[in-house]
């Protein structure tokens, strides 16, 4: 951060404000405390009537060309469910029904929290978009594990498989701590 978003001053200092316990960026001009908090990513693990999962080949960076669950950043003034539905529509053109929260996944070093919902297709329609160059449903045995874009996707897919086999609970919570 180079300038205070409140007053525009460049007189910023990192310090622990009174009554806090973590270093924050504080404007020395107007005394505004700037909190830098994790970004929320929302998306869906979409299943069809054959219990196959939808994956999208990424048409954008990062990880261009790798397979991904439809997901993306939550927008301001948007609920997590609304954001997950929007991301699915943006990446696949599909409309889905949310069944419930499937996984919560933390990527500490990247300051990200992933909320992945389980969902089902409302109809058979989906289409390529600028964000997805290929869309395909995969059976558990067909998942291209070496081509999955992100650890959050691997975590969600592994939970779906374990849940299908009856070896885990309804919600999984995980953390990746990159050094």
Given a contact cutoff of 8 angstroms between Cβ atoms, the answer to whether 126 and 135 are in contact is: yes
Q: Is the pLDDT of residue 149 over 90?
A: yes
- Enumerate domains of the chain plus CATH numbers: 1-36 (2.20.70.10), 39-176 (3.90.79.10)
What is the token pair recorded at 127?
Answer: 């289409």
- Across the range 74-94, mean pLDDT stands at 98
Q: Is the pLDDT of residue 88 over 80?
A: yes
Q: What is the pTM of this model?
A: 0.90
Q: What is the pLDDT of residues 32-56, one digit of tens each?
A: 999 999 999 999 999 999 999 999 9
Confidence at 64, pLDDT banded by 50, 70, 90:
very high
Residue 57's pLDDT is 98
Measure the CA–CA gap between 16 and 164, rounded to whole angstroms. Answer: 47
Measure the CA–CA gap between 125 and 156, rounded to whole angstroms. Answer: 23
- Across the range 81-100, mean pLDDT stands at 98
Beta strands in 20-123 (DSSP E): 24-27, 33-34, 39-47, 53-58, 67-68, 71-73, 96-107, 112-121
- Across the range 156-168, mean pLDDT stands at 95
Q: What is the pLDDT of residues 111-142, one digit of tens each?
A: 999 999 999 999 999 999 999 999 999 999 99
Residue 179's pLDDT is 58
Q: Is the pLDDT of residue 170 over 90?
A: no
CB neighbour class for 139 (10 Å; exposed up to 12, middle 13-18, buried from 19): exposed
Whole-number mean pLDDT of the chain? 96
């Amino acid at each position: 951060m180079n300038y205070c978003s409140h007053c525009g001053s460049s007189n910023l200092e990192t310090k622990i404000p009174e009554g806090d316990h973590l270093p924050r960026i504080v404007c020395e001009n107007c005394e505004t405390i700037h909190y830098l908090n994790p970004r929320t990513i929302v998306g869906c693990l979409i299943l069809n009537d054959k219990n196959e999962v939808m994956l999208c080949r990424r048409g954008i960076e990062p990880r261009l060309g790798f397979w991904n669950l439809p997901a993306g950043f939550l927008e301001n003034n948007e609920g997590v469910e609304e954001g997950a539905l929007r991301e699915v529509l943006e990446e696949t053109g599909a409309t889905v029904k949310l069944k419930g929260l499937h996984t919560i996944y933390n990527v500490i070093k990247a300051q990200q929290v992933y909320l992945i919902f389980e969902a089902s297709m409302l109809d058979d329609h989906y289409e390529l978009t600028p964000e997805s160059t290929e869309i395909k449903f995969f059976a558990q045995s067909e998942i291209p594990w070496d081509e999955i874009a992100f650890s959050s996707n691997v975590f969600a897919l592994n939970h779906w498989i374990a849940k299908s086999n009856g070896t885990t609970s309804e919600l999984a919570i995980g953390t990746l701590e990159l050094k």
